[in-house]
């Protein structure tokens, strides 16, 4: 089984990026540019978008706008967002490599480092850092910003396509399927205390469906679905209790379906949210004042069984952070 030391402690300090151009195509007529943006991007209200118009940040069909105006279907908008400060993030380095064969590259991603641009991050990402010392490599899948552990990358497009399909298939089985997939991912986490009847070493299946519910900051957010939600996604996780602590439980989780925020939602759905998770509350609902990218929880992609194109099976393990190791060993 391959292993590696955990990622280093160095951090990239907070810094301003170069700004970014966000491009949109209007799909139906709109009464105003500011209204269009306020509906499309709910992080800012119409008054803020009016200020951005006045500052000359928005262009329509190649022309800079200075005042609000109606929009027609097919209009092309560009918001030239000025540079903004990105938060400090951990530094990825070659010491983070768990496995590498010249093409396949598996990393031990540190908590706090976003994989791809999103949520206020443009340049402070794993992708940007990876390109500095492995320019051809690209991530095959994602981990949440505050989820640490095994992240699969590859240099060759054909390898990325093969691995991406395998990872999708490993989490696309029917929610009631108990057949083990060829690719198996095991996570380690800390949750709030589980019921006392849950024995050490006992595994239980969580099958709460996951659906979209209203959220004032995002419009909609993935949560444990309301009963009768016909659009909800069936989901399946297997949770094993590893250790009880005074304020938490150490658990292993295997997911048979790959739904958005599945582990965070499923642990919350059974009344034991991830310890320190600011978003998901007991029962699986979301805090209306919190965004998904906020951290504080403990979740680690610990082990991965991966089938290679030549038929060989690769078993990988990322060292556990101290908080997720057994206390009594």
- Contact indicator for 102, 65 with CB cutoff of 8 Å: no
pLDDT tens digits for range 267-305: 999 999 999 999 999 999 999 999 998 999 999 999 998
- The CA radius of gyration of the chain, in Å to the nearest whole number, is 22
Please give the pLDDT value at position 174: 57
- Residue 9: strand, helix, or coil: coil
Taking CB atoms within 8 Å and a gap of at least 24, the contacts of 39-48 are 42/217, 42/218, 42/219, 43/217
- Residue 129: strand, helix, or coil: helix
Q: Which segments of the chain belong to CATH 3.10.290.10?
A: 20-82
pTM of the predicted model as reported, rounded to 2 decimal places: 0.88
Q: Which segments of the chain belong to CATH 3.30.2350.10?
A: 86-170+301-324, 184-297
- Residue 86: strand, helix, or coil: strand
* CATH code for residues 184-297: 3.30.2350.10
For 51, the enclosing helix (H) or strand (E) is helix 46-54
- Contact indicator for 161, 103 with CB cutoff of 8 Å: no
pLDDT in tens, the chain (329 residues): 343 434 447 999 999 999 999 999 999 999 999 999 999 988 899 999 999 999 999 999 999 998 999 999 999 999 999 999 999 999 988 789 999 999 999 999 999 999 999 989 999 999 999 999 899 999 999 999 999 999 999 999 999 998 888 877 666 555 555 555 567 889 999 999 999 999 999 999 999 999 999 998 888 999 999 999 999 999 999 999 999 999 999 999 999 888 999 999 999 999 999 999 999 999 999 999 999 989 999 999 999 988 888 888 899 999 999 999 998 66
CA distance from start to end of the chain:
21
- CATH class of segment(s) 86-170+301-324: alpha beta
* CATH code for residues 20-82: 3.10.290.10
């Amino acid at each position: 089984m391959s292993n590696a030391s955990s990622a280093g402690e160095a951090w990239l300090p907070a810094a301003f990026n170069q700004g970014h151009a966000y491009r949109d195509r209007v799909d139906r007529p709109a009464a105003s540019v500011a209204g269009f943006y306020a509906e499309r991007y709910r992080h800012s209200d119409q008054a803020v978008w009016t200020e951005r118009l006045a500052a000359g940040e928005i262009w329509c069909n190649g022309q800079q706008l200075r005042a609000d105006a109606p929009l027609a279907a097919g209009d092309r908008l560009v918001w030239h967002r000025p540079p903004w400060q990105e938060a400090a993030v951990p530094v990825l380095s070659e010491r983070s490599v768990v496995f590498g064969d010249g093409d396949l590259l598996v990393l031990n991603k540190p908590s706090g480092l976003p994989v791809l641009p999103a949520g206020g991050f443009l340049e402070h990402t794993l992708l940007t850092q990876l390109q500095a010392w492995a320019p051809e490599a690209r991530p095959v899948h994602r981990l949440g910003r505050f989820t640490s552990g095994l992240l699969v990358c590859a240099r060759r497009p054909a390898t990325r396509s093969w691995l991406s399909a395998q990872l999708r298939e490993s989490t696309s089985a029917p929610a009631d399927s108990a057949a083990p997939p060829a690719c198996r991912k095991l996570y380690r986490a800390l949750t709030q205390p589980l019921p006392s009847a849950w024995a050490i070493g006992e595994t239980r299946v969580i099958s709460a469906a996951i659906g979209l519910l209203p959220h004032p900051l995002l419009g909609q957010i993935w949560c444990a679905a309301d009963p009768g939600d016909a659009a909800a996604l069936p989901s399946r996780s297997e949770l094993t209790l590893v250790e009880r602590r005074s304020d938490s439980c150490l658990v292993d989780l295997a997911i048979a379906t790959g739904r958005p925020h599945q582990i965070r939602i499923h642990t919350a759905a059974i009344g034991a949210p991830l310890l320190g998770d600011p978003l998901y509350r007991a029962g699986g609902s979301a805090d209306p004042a919190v965004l998904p990218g906020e951290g504080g929880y403990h979740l680690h992609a610990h082990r991965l069984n991966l089938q290679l194109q030549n038929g060989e099976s690769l078993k990988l393990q990322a060292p556990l952070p101290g908080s997720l190791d057994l206390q009594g060993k």
